Amino acid sequence: MGWQQRRRARLRGKDAGSGRAEGAGQESEEPCEIKDCSEFADKHLGGRSVSFQDAESVWSESAINSSGRRVRICRSCYKQLKKALKEERENRW
């Protein structure tokens, strides 16, 4: 058992003693900021926050609902982004 597993087990024990229900607060609240997508971008569902510049290289600026520096995207959109950026890197050389 590694140090991280021991730490997690210790923290779970403290949470159980404080009366917290496991999984409480795990509701989907953060929508994906890509206009065509209707999924959620919450961290516990695999959502990520990527730079606006990276998101703009895959989707057009009009397809992104965010105006800030970071864009919250769902897991499936993140997979599309990763694949597109990988192909872009390979084609650069």
Domain boundaries of the chain, sorted by first residue? 30-93
Instruction: Spell out the per-residue pLDDT of the chain, length 93, in tens.
Output: 688 888 888 888 876 555 444 455 567 688 888 888 888 888 888 888 999 988 988 888 888 887 788 999 999 999 999 999 998 888 876
Report yes or no on whether pTM surpasses 0.75: no
How many Å apart are CA 39 and CA 63, to the nearest integer?
Answer: 15
Strands 70-73 and 48-51: antiparallel
